[in-house]
Amino acid sequence: MLQSFTEILIPTDDSPGAREAHVAHYIDFVVNAAAEYAPEMQNEWKAAVAWLAGKKLDAAFVGGLAESFPPYRLIKQMTVFAFYTSRAGLVDDLGYQGIAYLTEFPACDHPEHRRV
């Protein structure tokens, strides 16, 4: 259920999505580890998942949700974090260039950026 929902939020299209990033697995791992120092987070998560249970998970359902609705906001934030910190999200989708070995920093070379 969680996996289907994260795949609607971050689908696999011309780049990898929540499935390739194993987002649902990762969220399970983090929420499980929250028991020790952040039990309140675990409780919020349980409430959010209970809300999700039994819903018809499709784009029409997600499209009708308000961004500020707490269960939706929590699941979406966890999904977005898990995706963009994964290799699939950070490197394959976004194309992040850092954590490299360079001899020179690739500085701005656009004359148009020297005037605003």
Partner 1 sequence: MERFDVIVVGSGACGGWATMALSQAGMKVLLLEAGSSIEPAKDFGHKWPYELPYRGQGQPGLLRKHFKGSTEYNYRIMIDDRENPYTTPADKPFRWSRSRVLGGRTLHWSRATDRMSDFEFKAASRDGYGENWPISYSDISPYYDRVESFIGVSAEAAGYPQFPDGKFLPPMKLNCAETLFDAACRKISLPATPRRVAQLTRMHNNRPPCHYCGNCTNGCDVGAMFNTVAVTLPPALKTKNVTVRCDSVVSHVLMNAENKARGVAYIERYTKKSVEVEARVVFLAGSALENTRMMLNSQKGGLANSSGVLGHYVMDQISGAGVTGFLPILKGTAIRNDDGKAGGLYVPNFNNVKTTNPNFIRGYAISASGGASEFPMFAMSAPGFGSEFKKSVKKQYPAQARVWLSGGEMLARFDNFVELDPEVRDAWGIPVLKIHCTHSDNDKKLYADFHERAKEIFLAARGEITDATPRMGVPGGLIHEVGSCRMGDDKKTSVLDSFCRTHDVGNVYVFGGGAFVTTGDKHPTLTMMALTARGCDQLLDRARRGEV
Q: Report the site for partner 1 in 19-78 (rule: CB under 8 A).
A: 29-31, 33-34, 36-38, 41, 59, 62-63, 67, 76-77
Which residues, 6+ apart, have CB-to-CB distance to 49 below 8 Å? 1, 2, 75
Considering only residues 9, 49, 57, 74, which one is a binding residue for partner 1 as defined by CB under 8 A? Answer: 9
Considering only residues 3, 15, 57, 74, which one is a binding residue for partner 1 as defined by CB under 8 A? Answer: 15
Burial of residue 113 (CB within 10 Å: 0-12, 13-18, 19+) is exposed
* Residue with the two structure tokens 């359902």: 61
- Cα(23)–Cα(55) distance, rounded to whole angstroms? 20
Residues within the interface to partner 1 (CB under 8 A): 8-11, 13, 15, 17, 29-31, 33-34, 36-38, 41, 59, 62-63, 67, 76-77, 80-82, 84-87, 90, 93-108, 110, 112-116
